[in-house]
Amino acid sequence: MYNDLNYRSLIVGTSTSIPLANGEFTTAINFDNAATTPPFVSVLNSINNFAPWYSSIHRGTGYKSRYSSEIYENSREAVASFVKADMDFNTIIFVKNTTEAINKLSFRLYKRYQDCVVLSTDMEHHSNDLPWRGKYKVDYVSINSSGKLSLVDLESKLKKYKGEVKLVTVSGASNVTGCKNPIHTIAALAHKYKAKILVDGAQLVPHSPVNMLPVNNPEHIDFLVFSAHKMYAPFGCGVLIAPKEYFASGAPEYSGGGTIDIVTHDYIKWAETPSRDEAGTPNIMGVVALTESIKTLSNLGMSNVEGYEKSLTEYAIHKLKDIGDLQFYGNSQNCNDKVSILPFNIKDLPHQVTATALSYEYGIAVRSGCFCAQPYVQKLLNISSKQMKRYMKYPDLPRPGLVRISFGLYNTCNEIDTLCVALANISKNKEHYYNKYRFALSEKD
Ligand SMILES: Cc1ncc(COP(=O)(O)O)c(C=O)c1O
Give residue 444's pLDDT. Answer: 67
7 C-alpha to center of ligand 1: Å? 24
**Is the shortest distance between the CB of 173 and ligand 1 below 6 Å?**
no
Give residue 4's pLDDT. Answer: 55
Amino acid identity, residue 123? M
**Is the shortest distance between the CB of 171 and ligand 1 below 6 Å?**
yes
The continuous run of DSSP H or E covering 68 comes out as helix 63-83
**Is the shortest distance between the CB of 125 and ligand 1 below 6 Å?**
yes
Q: How far apart are CA 34 and CA 340, in angstroms?
A: 9
Hey, whose CA ends up nearest to atom 12 of ligand 1? 202
3-state helix vs strand vs coil in the chain, percent to 5: 40, 20, 40
The domains of the chain, with CATH numbers, are 4-30+301-442 (3.90.1150.10), 44-298 (3.40.640.10)
**Is the shortest distance between the CB of 127 and ligand 1 below 6 Å?**
yes
Task: Assess contact for 353 and 440: CB atoms under 8 A.
Answer: yes
Positive or negative, the Cα torsion across 298, 304, 309, 310?
Answer: positive
99 C-alpha to center of ligand 1: Å? 6
Nearest atom, ligand 1, residue 124 CA: 1
310 C-alpha to center of ligand 1: Å? 21
Tens place of pLDDT for every residue, the chain, 445 residues?
445 557 999 999 999 999 999 999 999 999 999 999 999 999 999 999 999 999 998 878 899 999 999 999 999 999 999 999 999 999 999 999 999 999 999 999 999 998 899 999 999 999 999 999 999 999 999 999 999 999 999 999 999 999 999 999 999 999 999 999 999 999 999 999 999 999 999 999 999 999 999 999 999 999 999 999 999 999 999 999 999 999 999 999 999 999 999 999 999 999 999 999 999 999 999 999 999 999 999 999 999 999 999 999 999 999 999 998 999 999 878 888 999 999 999 999 999 999 999 999 999 999 999 999 999 999 999 999 999 999 999 999 999 999 999 999 999 999 999 999 999 999 999 999 999 999 999 876 6
Q: What is the DSSP letter of 148?
A: S
**Is the shortest distance between the CB of 37 and ligand 1 below 6 Å?**
no
263 C-alpha to center of ligand 1: Å? 36
> Which of 32, 127, 232, 406 has most ligand 1 atoms within 8 Å of its beta carbon, as the pocket-test mutant?
127
127 C-alpha to center of ligand 1: Å? 6
Nearest atom, ligand 1, residue 175 CA: 16
Task: Assess contact for 81 and 208: CB atoms under 8 A.
Answer: no
**Is the shortest distance between the CB of 177 and ligand 1 below 6 Å?**
no
Task: Assess contact for 367 and 341: CB atoms under 8 A.
Answer: no
269 C-alpha to center of ligand 1: Å? 34
**Is the shortest distance between the CB of 406 and ligand 1 below 6 Å?**
no
Hey, whose CA ends up nearest to atom 7 of ligand 1? 98
Task: Assess contact for 164 and 136: CB atoms under 8 A.
Answer: no
Could you tell me whether strands 90-95 and 341-346 are parallel, antiparallel, or unpaired per DSSP bridges? Answer: unpaired
